[in-house]
Amino acid sequence: MSDEQTRVVIVGGSLVGLSTALFLRHHGVDVVLVERHPSTSIQPRTPGYNARTMESFRAVGIEDEVRAAGPWTLTGSGILWAESLSSPNWHWIEHPSMHAPTEGFSEVSPSEMAVLAQDELEPVLRARAESLGGDLRFATELLSFAPDDEGVTVEVADRRTDERRSVRADYLIAADGADSPVREALGIGRDGPGVLGHQVGIVVRTDLSEVLDGRSFAISMVANQHVSGMVRVVGDLMILNVEHDPDGGAVSEQFPEHRCAELARAAAGVPDLPVEVLDAQPWTTRAAVARRFVHGRVLLAGDAAHVMPPSGALGANTGIQDGWNLAWKLALVLDGRAGTDLLDTYGAERRPVAELTVDQALARGGAWFGDGEASTELIDDLTLMFGYRYDSAALLAESGAGAEVEDPRRPSWAPGTRVPHVWLDGDRDESTVDACASGFALLTGGDDSWPRASAELERRLGLPMTVRSVDPEAGASWGIEPSGAVLVRPDGFVAWRCASMPENPADALESVLDRILARTS
C-alpha cells in the first residue's frame, strides 16, 4: 500500500523536469516532482532560450516574467580566436550558421528568444508550477521504481530527514539527466557517438568592459601558456570551459578556487583582474539518442532521452519541447478523453526531432571548431526551431507530406507542421499560436457552421475547442477553401486540414478526433 497517490511523478527538477511539471499543471494534471539537490540550479548554464521555447512559456503565462528574470542581451555573434580576451592577436571565425536569421522573423513567431542563465530561469518555472498546485520536492531522492500494467510505484527519501515514502502514480517521467538511472534500470540503450569530451565549467563574476573594449562575440576560444578553453560572456558573468581528466581526482581538488581565479584571469589576459569565483562543475560533451522514449508507464524526456554538444544551444530547448509535446497527451489520457495509444506518439514524434537536432549540433561543432566543413547539411536556426515536421497517428497526414523540415517563412499549413503565426486581431495581441494555448483550436475562414460544430463536439466529447477566424484571403496559402478549417493541437501543431465544408462538420470533427486521440468506441 502506497503512502500517497498522484497522476504523474517526475524524476529530475532541472529545466526539463520543472518545465514539464508546469506544463502538466497548466493542463490540470496532478504531479509530484522529486529532485535530489536542495534547490534549483546555482549554475548559470544555458544562456539562450529560443523563440519556440518562449512560445510555450507564453502559453502558460510566464513569457514576460522569464524575460524580466534575465535582463541580458546577446550583442555578438561569431567566434573570436585569441591568446586572451585582451590580446591584440585575435581573429574572427565566421560561418553562416552562427547567425540566427533575422529577415522575416517577426512574421514567423509572436515571441523572441530570451537571454538568461539557468539559475535565473529555474526559480521562475518552480514558482509558477507551485502556484498552480504542483508538488515539487527538492532534496528528495528516487530510491526505486516499479512499473506495472496499471502504473508505477516510486520509493523516495527526503535527504534532510531520511524519511522514506512510497508514491503511486499512473506515469513516471524520467527527466533525470544524461546518466539517467531510470533509463539505465530499464535497459534502454542509446545510439550515437557517445562521449566526446570532458570539461569543467568555471563561472566567475567580473567586469570585462575595459578588457573587451566594445568587442562582442558569441564565443571566444582562448589559448596561451596558462589556459586553453572556451569563453562566453553574459552580463557580468564569464563562463570558462576547460578540459579536465575525469580520472585525475575530484574536480574540487583539480580546480580549487584559487586555480579557477588564475585560469579566468589568464583567459582575460589581465593578471590582477578582480574576479569572484561562483562555481566550477564538471560536464561531459556527448551525442546520443535513446532507442525508445516510451517504455510502458515510463517516459523519457530531456537529457535522459537525448544529449548533444552545446553548439547552437539546442539541448535545453529540445528537452523543454519534449515536455510541451507530452503534457497535453498525458492530460487527455488521464482524464479518459484519449486512449493510451496516444502516448506512443510521443516517441514517434520527438525521437526523430532529437535525432535531427543531435545531427545538427554535431554539424555545427564541425563547422565552427573543426575544419569548417559540416558533417551534414546545415539547417538554419529558424527552420530548426519551427520547421520540423511530425509524422504519427496523432495527426491526419496528407499524401506527399513533404520533407523532414520546411522553411517556416514559407509555411505549408500541412498536418504535422507547427501552425504558422498569423495575428488574429488588429492590436496584435493574439496569434494563431496563442489560440491553442489551453487546448485544441479550430482556425476557419469565418463560416458559422464551424463554431456550431465545435459546440456540438464539446457536448458529445467534453472537449472544449477554441474557434478563431483567420483572414479568408489567406485561404490560398492554407491550401483550403474559405469554408474549410485547420485543426490545431494543444502543442501548436496542425492535426488536420479540411479543404472545404463537410456535409456534417460535427461528425467530421468527431471522427478526426477519435483517430487523433486513439479513442475507441
Helix (H) or strand (E) holding 154: strand 152-158
Q: What is the distance, to the nearest Å, from the Cα of residue 254 to the centroid of all Cα atoms in its chain? A: 33
Enter the C-alpha cell of residue 231.
569563453
Lowest mean pLDDT segment, chosen from 101-115, 208-222, 329-343, 426-440: 101-115
May I ask the CATH architecture of the domain 389-516?
3-Layer(aba) Sandwich (3.40)
Which positions ≥6 away from 235 have C-beta within 8 Å? 71, 72
Over residues 124-142, the pLDDT tens digits come to: 999 999 999 999 999 999 9
b (16+ CB within 10 A) / e for 268-298: bbbeebebebbbbeebebbbbbbeebbbebb
Instruction: Indicate the pLDDT class of residue 260, thresholds 50, 70 and 90.
Output: very high
Over residues 200-250, the pLDDT tens digits come to: 999 999 999 899 888 878 788 899 999 999 898 887 889 999 998 888 888
Helix (H) or strand (E) holding 288: strand 276-290
Identity of residue 485: A
Question: What pTM does this model have?
Answer: 0.92
Enter the C-alpha cell of residue 50.
529560443
Give the model's pLDDT for residue 401: 64
The mean pLDDT value of the chain amounts to: 90
For residues 299 and 477, the model is more confident at: 299
Q: Is residue 371 over pLDDT 70?
A: no
Domain ranges in the chain are 4-70+116-191+287-369, 389-516
Reported CATH class of domain 4-70+116-191+287-369:
alpha beta
For residues 94 and 12, the model is more confident at: 12
DSSP 103: T
Q: What is the distance, to the nearest Å, from the Cα of residue 81 to the centroid of all Cα atoms in its chain? A: 30
Instruction: Indicate the pLDDT class of residue 368, thresholds 50, 70 and 90.
Output: low
Q: Is residue 110 over pLDDT 60?
A: yes
Enter the C-alpha cell of residue 257.
578556487
Enter the C-alpha cell of residue 366.
564541425
Over residues 181-192, the pLDDT tens digits come to: 999 999 999 999
Q: What is the distance, to the nearest Å, from the Cα of residue 289 to the centroid of all Cα atoms in its chain? A: 15
Over residues 8-49, the pLDDT tens digits come to: 999 999 999 999 999 999 999 999 999 999 899 877 776 689
Mean of pLDDT values over 148-175: 97
- Percent of the chain past pLDDT 90, that is, above it, reads 67
Q: Is residue 145 over pLDDT 60?
A: yes
4-70+116-191+287-369 and 389-516, same CATH topology = no
| CA atoms 363, 367, 368, 371: torsion sign | positive
Q: Give the β-pairing of 135-138 and 31-35.
A: parallel
Instruction: Indicate the pLDDT class of residue 440, thresholds 50, 70 and 90.
Output: very high
Q: For the chain, percent helix, then strand, then coil, each to nearest 5?
A: 35, 25, 40
**Residue whose C-alpha cell reads 508507464 in the numeric block:** 297
Over residues 471-505, the pLDDT tens digits come to: 766 655 788 888 999 999 999 999 999 999 999 99
Mean of pLDDT values over 306-310: 90
**379 and 97 Cβ atoms separated by less than 8 Å:** no
Identity of residue 159: R
CB atoms under 10 Å from CB of 462, counted, come to: 10
Mean of pLDDT values over 269-280: 94
Tell me how far apart the alpha carbons of residues 233 and 379 are, in angstroms, rounded to a whole number: 26
